[in-house]
Amino acid sequence: MRAIWKGSISFGLVNIPIALYPATRKEELSFRLLRRSDLSPVNYKRVAEKDGREVPWDEIVKGYEYEKGKYVVLKNEDFQRVDLEATQTVDIQDFVDQEDIDPMFFYKPYYLEPQKGGDKAYVLLRDALEESKKVGIAKVVIKTRQYLAGVKAEDGVLVLELMHFAEELADSDQLHVPKKIEPGKREINMAKALIDSMSSKWNPEKYKDDYREALMEVIEEKVEAGGKEIEEKPKPKKQPTKVIDLVSVLQKSLEQTGAKRKASAKSRRKQKQPAKKAA
């Protein structure tokens, strides 16, 4: 794994040399646009809306649309005027309680690895954050953009997680969410009972990308068939549901969940039973 950025964490007079590594992997499938007749790849061209002509790179400029159809052109010098100095430093400005931060603010994690001479300070910061349940709120410049970030202790590793600035989060008050409806006590109790019956320990390995796996099966079948069309498997029809009585629907869900749990437990018990010895 290659580091995408090297620098240091800075807070107070402490400076810890670190390297930044991606903490996630993209599993997206990549597709090309092809011409149907001969499967020749189709490339994109940069064309002007006004006349449909292709525009070479040396004639392209960056513009900001300040009114509909009106633009102001920004040159490299304009960007340089506001270019932030890439100090290669994760500059921690505050330490805050982790539970006080809305999870909506976090969006992209990176692992932090100590570099030569930084082991002791790295462990000190990691353990202090873990015990205090604090997050270091920092600003960091990666490439040419400044980010807000949180420095956390996660499973023995320091993690830098990029964050949204407050103005980047949409206002949920604009949503038409029901606020005056009050469910009955019986409905609430049954809903809580259903949640309890479906509760389990967090196991991330349990959840798979079903769409990607199914799509890969289709791709593999087509490759084996030499690109020929394959017969579509019949899909099970979903019965349309009409929710009339919420309590009866919750009751039915509870019964189905309970039956599934009992069947699963019975299956586990069978697997654990020792095989009978032959007479």
What mean pLDDT comes out for the span 183-195? 83
With respect to residue 257, please indicate whether it lies within any of the assigned structural domains.
no
For residue 16, what are the domain limits?
Answer: 5-23+83-168
Query: The pTM is what?
Result: 0.67
pLDDT at 51: 92
Pairing of strands 106-114, 157-163: antiparallel
38 or 260, higher pLDDT: 38
pLDDT at 212: 82
Is it the case that residue 81 has pLDDT exceeding 90? no
With respect to residue 158, please indicate whether it lies within any of the assigned structural domains.
yes
How far apart, in whole angstroms, are the C-alpha atoms of residue 88 and residue 6? Answer: 7
Burial tier of 224 (Cβ tally within 10 Å: 0-12, 13-18, 19+) = exposed
Quickly count: other Cβ atoms within 10 Å of residue 161's Cβ. Answer: 19
252 or 44, higher pLDDT: 44
With respect to residue 15, please indicate whether it lies within any of the assigned structural domains.
yes
With respect to residue 92, please indicate whether it lies within any of the assigned structural domains.
yes
What mean pLDDT comes out for the span 71-95? 80
- DSSP track, 11-63: ETTEEEEEEEEE-----------B-TTT-PBPPP--B-TTT--B--GGG--EE
User: What pLDDT band is residue 274 in, cutting at 50, 70 and 90?
Assistant: low
With respect to residue 32, please indicate whether it lies within any of the assigned structural domains.
no
pLDDT at 84: 60
Is it the case that residue 15 has pLDDT exceeding 90? no
Tokens describing residue 109: 């994690």
How far apart, in whole angstroms, are the C-alpha atoms of residue 270 and residue 279? Answer: 21
* Weakest-pLDDT range from 4-13, 150-159, 207-216, 268-277: 268-277
pLDDT at 223: 83
Is it the case that residue 164 has pLDDT exceeding 80? yes
Q: How far is CA 129 from CA 16, 20, 92, 204, 225, in A?
A: 15, 18, 13, 24, 55
Report the domain count for the chain. 1
78 or 241, higher pLDDT: 78
Pairing of strands 89-97, 70-74: unpaired
Please write the tens of the pLDDT for every residue from 94-116. Answer: 999 999 999 999 999 999 999 99
Is it the case that residue 67 has pLDDT exceeding 50? yes
User: What pLDDT band is residue 182 in, cutting at 50, 70 and 90?
Assistant: confident
Nearest to 126 by CA among 137, 105, 112: 112
With respect to residue 10, please indicate whether it lies within any of the assigned structural domains.
yes
How far apart, in whole angstroms, are the C-alpha atoms of residue 136 and residue 19? Answer: 17
**151 bridge partner residues:** 136, 160
Is it the case that residue 5 has pLDDT exceeding 80? yes
User: What pLDDT band is residue 279 in, cutting at 50, 70 and 90?
Assistant: very low
Please write the tens of the pLDDT for every residue from 135-158. Answer: 999 998 887 788 999 999 999 999
With respect to residue 161, please indicate whether it lies within any of the assigned structural domains.
yes
How far apart, in whole angstroms, are the C-alpha atoms of residue 4 and residue 170? Answer: 30
User: What pLDDT band is residue 211 in, cutting at 50, 70 and 90?
Assistant: confident
* Domain at 127, CATH number: 2.40.290.10
* Weakest-pLDDT range from 35-39, 221-225, 261-265: 261-265
Q: How far is CA 168 from CA 114, 135, 147, 163, in A?
A: 31, 20, 12, 10
Residue reference for tokens 């932090």? 112
With respect to residue 50, please indicate whether it lies within any of the assigned structural domains.
no
Across the chain, mean pLDDT equals 83
